[in-house]
Amino acid sequence: MQQLFKAVKSILISLLIIPILIINCYAIEDAIVAVVNNELLTLKDLKNYILSTQASLVTEGIPEEKIKAIMDELQNNGLNKLIEDKLILSRANDIGLEVQDKLVNERIKAIKLKYESEQQFFDALIKNGTNITELKNKYRDQFKIQFVIEHEVKAKIYVNPQEVTDFYQNNKELFQKKQRVLLESIYIAYSNNKTAAQAKANEALGNIKSGKDFLETAKIYSDSPSLGEIEKGQLMPSIEDIIFNMEVGEVSSPVEVDTGIYIFKIAKIIEPKIAPLVEVKDKIYNYVYQNKLSENFRTWLEELKKDAYIEIKK
């Protein structure tokens, strides 16, 4: 009888404790972590923000390494990123930016195409802790952020052609082109018979040494096109040690690699030189533009923060 009393008492205590634990759990999630203008951000908001970001990245098929880098950053700086997004979205709403449902639906449709079936797509959403409504809301916010940045930051960036020229003149060492060779090559694959490949390579080399044209011989024996123009650092060191020590017109002995055998001929040696402006101006433009974009975006974002009420709870 005493044992029965103890068991009943234990069950009653458990029934009393469980609701308390549940209430505490909800209380923790509802804890306010920040105030942005007139909006309260809770721990649950932060968790949902991080989880929805991960879910959208996974659903889109973003490479795992990139997802990991983004999520590591959010784990360390998620609250600040959430606050910044809230400020940007608030600015988008202030100037009346709207996102058409068509844009969101087209984005969803494009992602669905990456899956074998619609059911597989929905299964992926569930697996990653989200649903189609939450995903659409995430994309709608992303579009708003994209549009307001384009409207208020990107549209005001201008790169003067003189800036491109000045950058080139002041940083010519960045455009030093390495020594290159124009390479004619014959490649003979092992194809599960290394001995036969070696015999074929020796036969091809013998024909070349007897006076037959290299390129004509390549048409008969080679399993792949010539490698063409090669810059130092593009091939295996063992191969570069050979080709960058050859003279113009010189033909190499057979060079064995993991998958087959090469025979090389140097058609031309191109000495190191500074790339002309016309070759690199687009790269310089993009570099200068991206630097301005990054700087102007940070300045714009700091202005939004300055004009807002932000309180981060400790």
Give the pLDDT confidence of 51-88 residue by residue, as tens digits. 888 888 888 888 989 989 998 898 889 899 999 999 99
Is 204 domain-assigned?
yes
Average pLDDT score over residue span 193-215: 94
Is 198 domain-assigned?
yes
Is 305 domain-assigned?
no
Considering the domain architecture, whether residues 97 and 146 belong to the same structural domain is answered as yes
Considering the domain architecture, whether residues 125 and 42 belong to the same structural domain is answered as yes
Q: Which residue has the higher pLDDT, 60 or 5?
A: 60
Q: Which residue has the higher pLDDT, 264 or 60?
A: 264
User: In this structure, are residues 135 and 191 in contact, taking their beta carbons and an 8 Å threshold?
Assistant: no
pTM, to two decimals? 0.67
Written as six digits, the tokens of 267 are 């058609």
Is 283 domain-assigned?
yes
Please report the pLDDT score of residue 29 as a whole number.
66
Angle at 163 between CA 158 and CA 165, to 5 degrees: 140
Tally the domains of the chain. Answer: 4
Please report the pLDDT score of residue 21 as a whole number.
40
Which CATH number belongs to the domain containing residue 235 in this structure?
3.10.50.40
Is 69 domain-assigned?
yes
Considering the domain architecture, whether residues 21 and 87 belong to the same structural domain is answered as no
Q: Long-range contacts for 245-253 (Cβ within 8 Å, ≥24 apart)? A: 246/181, 251/205, 251/208, 251/209, 251/214, 253/205
Please report the pLDDT score of residue 20 as a whole number.
41
pLDDT above 80: residue 24: no
Considering the domain architecture, whether residues 55 and 125 belong to the same structural domain is answered as yes
Considering the domain architecture, whether residues 230 and 130 belong to the same structural domain is answered as no
The parent domain of residue 280 ranges over 161-172+275-293
Q: What b/e sequence results for 55-78 when a residue is b if at least 16 CB atoms lie within 10 Å of its CB, and e otherwise?
A: bbbbbeeeeeeebeeebeebeeeb
Which CATH number belongs to the domain containing residue 60 in this structure?
1.10.4030.10
Considering the domain architecture, whether residues 43 and 143 belong to the same structural domain is answered as yes
How does residue 28 score in pLDDT terms, banded at 50, 70 and 90?
Answer: low
Considering the domain architecture, whether residues 167 and 287 belong to the same structural domain is answered as yes
Considering the domain architecture, whether residues 101 and 125 belong to the same structural domain is answered as yes
Please report the pLDDT score of residue 15 as a whole number.
41
Considering the domain architecture, whether residues 105 and 144 belong to the same structural domain is answered as yes
Is 289 domain-assigned?
yes
**Non-local CB neighbours of 121 within 8 Å, separated by 6+ positions:** 59, 111, 112, 115
Is 17 domain-assigned?
yes
- Lowest mean per-residue pLDDT among 11-20, 103-112, 260-269: 11-20
How does residue 9 score in pLDDT terms, banded at 50, 70 and 90?
Answer: very low
Considering the domain architecture, whether residues 18 and 39 belong to the same structural domain is answered as no
Is 314 domain-assigned?
no
pLDDT per residue as tens digits for the range 176-198: 888 899 999 999 999 889 999 99
Please, which residues bridge with residue 176 across strands?
Answer: 274
Mean pLDDT, all residues of the chain: 87
Considering the domain architecture, whether residues 136 and 252 belong to the same structural domain is answered as no
User: In this structure, are residues 168 and 201 in contact, taking their beta carbons and an 8 Å threshold?
Assistant: no
Considering the domain architecture, whether residues 148 and 72 belong to the same structural domain is answered as yes
Measured over all CA atoms, what is the biggest interatomic distance in the chain, rounded to whole angstroms? 109
User: In this structure, are residues 219 and 186 in contact, taking their beta carbons and an 8 Å threshold?
Assistant: no
